[in-house]
Amino acid sequence: MEIYRDGALYLYGVVGESYWDEGFTASQVLMALAEHGRDQDVVVHINSGGGFVDDGIAIYNALAAHKGNVRVEVDAVALSSASLIAMAGDEIVMRAGALMMIHDPATVTFGSAAEHVRTIEQLEAYATQMAAIYAERSGKSPDEARAEMKAEIWLTSTEAVEQGYADQAEAAKAKAVASFDYRVYAKAPKELRATARRKGWSMGEAHSSPDASASSSPSKQEPLMADKPNGADAPDHSAAVAAAVKADRDRRRTILGLDEAKGREGLAAHFADETDDSVEKVKAALAAAPKASAEPSKPQGTEVSAALHEQRRLNGDGLAGGDGPKARGDKSILAAAVERGNKRR
């Protein structure tokens, strides 16, 4: 897709080659900057759910090296690799209702133990580089930035400014978010996950590349989309998304602070992070569950495991016709997509 128009860059869709021309690559950004002029100020619009780590780092470096002033405007979302790109801006502006997400790089590897070890080393190297970039921009230490990456933080426009990842929260309304399967992220707001499901933004088999292989590119994240990335036909739900981020955070804090959560901390965290149950429903379930025993003669965690099993049974987990598993960073979706690609080779 064309990323340079009217003297500005529009980085919408997947970061890196998406195989069906619905994103942007480092090569495209370099050519666009050359066309624009190295000494000229430039505005870079971002609306991306992320993508390949190496393309993200290359684009960050290209923008950071640009001699003119670089103004980054997050039109709706800058997630994962896209948030890294945003850090290159001399100015970083978040539109009202826009979101930024920072997390550790992830991938899927198939092969021997040695291949898995190499993948771990590569992911750690990428994560170290990324943490240094986030730290430099925000004023945090690299260790603090890495801790936030591991936690996967979702920031509203004002929170991004407060934490140093942006300079300004603009009052102008955000655009509709780019088409993306937001269910692949561990802590994506419910509104984004629901929209992705409703609009069919999924890791669809139809878009798997026969040549795609996790083991051949272990450092890359490979999100797949079904619709066009500009979100032109999607309703503008940016305000609801921002509200969902806050609601999720408040709900988790409330659940973990319940009196019924004392002695059942593991179970409380499960309900907070892995279910959409109301606080009252969680409170009742916690009250009905026995506390974990501290007696050395009794196996630890037995009561929690039984309670989890009972709650999952009551929820009907695994039954056909349901919404399926609630994705929390959905490595299973990534693995399935890669496996389908490998079978075609």
Residue 217: pLDDT band (50, 70, 90) is very low
Most confident of 115-129, 238-252, 281-295, 305-319: 115-129
Least confident range from 110-114, 159-163, 217-221, 223-227: namely: 223-227
Q: Write down the pLDDT at residue 88.
A: 96
Percent of the chain at pLDDT above 90? Answer: 37
> Rounded distance, CA 173 to CA 171, Å?
6
Please give the pLDDT value at position 108. 81
pLDDT band at 310 (very low <50, low <70, confident <90, very high): low
Q: For the ranges 77-91, 173-187, 310-324, which has the lowest average pLDDT? A: 310-324
Among 5-14, 218-227, 299-308, 330-339, the range scoring the smallest mean pLDDT is 218-227
Instruction: Dump the DSSP string for 173-200.
Output: EPPPPPP--GGGSTT--HHHHHHHHHHT
Distance of CA 208 to CAs 154, 178, 225, 339, 343, Å? 28, 19, 10, 10, 11
Residue 101 pLDDT exceeds 90:
yes
**Residue 22 pLDDT > 80:** no
Of 63-72, 121-130, 319-328, minimum mean pLDDT range: 319-328
Beta-bridge mates of residue 77: 99
Q: How many percent of the chain have pLDDT more than 70?
A: 63
126, HSE (Cβ side, Cα atoms, 13 Å): 27
CB 201 within 8 A of CB 181: yes
- Could you tell me the pTM of the whole model? 0.59
Q: Which residues contact 45 (CB under 8 A, 6 or more apart)?
A: 8, 9, 10, 11, 12, 73, 75
pLDDT for position 248: 74
User: How far apart (Å, rounded) are the C-alpha atoms in residues 115 and 53?
Assistant: 19
Looking at CATH, the fold of the domain delimited by 4-237 is given as 2-enoyl-CoA Hydratase; Chain A, domain 1 (3.90.226)
Judged against a pLDDT cut of 60, whether residue 113 lies above it is answered with: yes
* Average pLDDT along the chain: 75
Using CA atoms, how far apart are residues 234 and 201, in angstroms rounded to an integer?
11
Exposure on the CB side of residue 279, measured as CA atoms within 13 A: 13
> What confidence category does residue 167 fall into, taking pLDDT thresholds of 50, 70 and 90?
very high
- The pLDDT of residue 256 is above 80: yes
CA 297 to chain centre: 43
Q: pLDDT band for position 185 (50/70/90)?
A: confident
- Burial class, 331, CB count within 10 angstroms (exposed 0-12 / middle 13-18 / buried 19+): middle
pLDDT value at residue 201: 64
pLDDT in tens, 61-71: 999 999 999 99
Specify the DSSP element, H or E, that contains 9: strand 8-15
Determine the pLDDT at residue 8. 95
Residue of 245 and 287 predicted with greater confidence: 287
| pLDDT of 154 higher than 80 | yes
Average pLDDT over residues 24-42: 94
Q: What is the pLDDT of residue 94?
A: 94
Residue 225 has pLDDT above 60, yes or no: no
**pLDDT tens-digit profile of 194-216?**
777 776 665 443 333 323 333 33
Compute the distance between CA of residue 310 and CA of residue 292 in angstroms, rounded to an integer.
16
Q: What is the mean pLDDT of residues 74-78?
A: 92
Instruction: Report the run of H or E that residue 114 belongs to, with start and end.
Output: helix 113-138
Mean pLDDT confidence for 123-149:
94
Band of the pLDDT at 323, cuts 50, 70, 90? very low
pLDDT exceeds cutoff 80 at 254: yes
pLDDT number for residue 170: 83
